[in-house]
Amino acid sequence: MRFFLLLLAFGVSSSLMSHATSQNFRAFDTSFVEDNDLWIEDDINSKEGITRDMFNTIIAAGLDVYSPIAAQNGERLRINSDWNSPLVGANCSRAYGYFTVNLYGGLARREEITPEGFALVLCHELGHGYGSTPYLTKDVDFSERQDKFSAEGQSDYYGAKECLRKLLPKIAMPSVQPTAYMENRCKKIASLNSSDFLLCLRQLSGSISLGTLLASIKDEPEPSFETPDQTEVDQTETSYPATVQCRTDTYHNGSLNLDRPHCWFK
């Protein structure tokens, strides 16, 4: 009987240790978007979204640009890609000397997703690791810099403003169909037909791609650059901005080097 109790105690202890280890790892984890059931709609043979080759090209660009940045931060960058997964989302974690990003084919195959939009998802995740303040608030006593995951809005902003500008030149130019609004705004910051002008159009294209996807996920109206969220928060929101329009405004402002919108940033 005593031997059985010892075995039982050991089993419970091992289970708790395993759970604690798992919880410790998950504590450093954050996602691009809330859990959703759009995976049900996924068809691995779909011709929507981006191709598998483009999926891999964007990931390679992210590794090329951000591996040195991760090394400067004293860690290694790892991007796990699962083309066969139906999940519509992305996430990242920091543990055991690695900053890890997980990307899924279910997201890449969505009809709303363009190459620029998918690159912006990757940039959002990289933004959590390297986008600076404001940081996510945590109810865990982390040590040193392990708790420094950029807030959701900041990851969106950094992703559009800094990361996307680094990645897009490494990704083949697709056929972007800009609106008159996009062309007019980009003309204000770059010479017409210059590389910066085309890059600006691609940044805004990625912004509206993700805004449209988020609207599908959250069952909200499709966002528009011309109808920004007029909310002004009393204090900076570190979780997801309250509306899809607010997140789209954040991509828009980052792309155009404007201030962070007051719908989440104080």
Q: Are 200 and 251 in contact (CB under 8 A)?
A: no
Q: Is residue 239 pLDDT above 90, yes or no?
A: yes
Q: Are 206 and 165 in contact (CB under 8 A)?
A: no
- Give CA–CA dist 74/123, Å, rounded: 20
> Taking the domains of the chain in order of start, what are their residue ranges?
28-255
The overall average pLDDT reported for the chain is: 86
Compute the average pLDDT of residues 33-38: 84
Residue 4 confidence class, pLDDT cut points 50, 70, 90? very low
Radius of gyration of the chain (CA): 20
pLDDT of residue 142: 43
pLDDT of residue 13: 35
Compute the average pLDDT of residues 252-256: 98
Q: Is residue 236 pLDDT above 50, yes or no?
A: yes
- Give CA–CA dist 252/53, Å, rounded: 27
Residue 159 DSSP SS3: helix
Q: Which residues is 80 bridged to in the sheet?
A: 102
Q: Is residue 265 pLDDT above 70, yes or no?
A: yes
Q: Is residue 157 pLDDT above 50, yes or no?
A: yes
Q: Is residue 11 pLDDT above 80, yes or no?
A: no
Residue 207, Cβ neighbours under 10 Å: how many? 30
What percentage of the chain carries pLDDT values higher than 90?
76
Q: Is residue 2 pLDDT above 50, yes or no?
A: no
CA dihedral of 79, 82, 83, 87, whole degrees rounded to 10: -110
Query: How far from 55 is each of 131, 134, 184, 210, 213, CA to CA, in Å?
Result: 23, 30, 30, 16, 17
pLDDT digits (tens, 9 = 90+) for 78-111: 999 999 999 999 999 999 999 999 999 999 999 9
- Give CA–CA dist 140/28, Å, rounded: 10
pLDDT of residue 147: 57
pLDDT of residue 31: 76
pLDDT digits (tens, 9 = 90+) for 39-66: 899 899 999 999 999 999 999 999 999 9
Report how far apart the first and last C-alpha atoms of the chain are (Å, whole number): 62
Residue 142, Cβ neighbours under 10 Å: how many? 13
Per DSSP, the residues of 10-27 read HHHHHHHHHHHHHHHHHT
pLDDT of residue 186: 96
Compute the average pLDDT of residues 205-221: 95
- Give CA–CA dist 266/261, Å, rounded: 8
pLDDT of residue 145: 42
Query: How far from 127 is each of 9, 136, 150, 162, CA to CA, in Å?
Result: 43, 12, 7, 9
pLDDT of residue 34: 79
pLDDT digits (tens, 9 = 90+) for 102-134: 999 999 999 999 999 999 999 999 999 999 999
Sign of CA dihedral 103, 67, 159, 48: negative
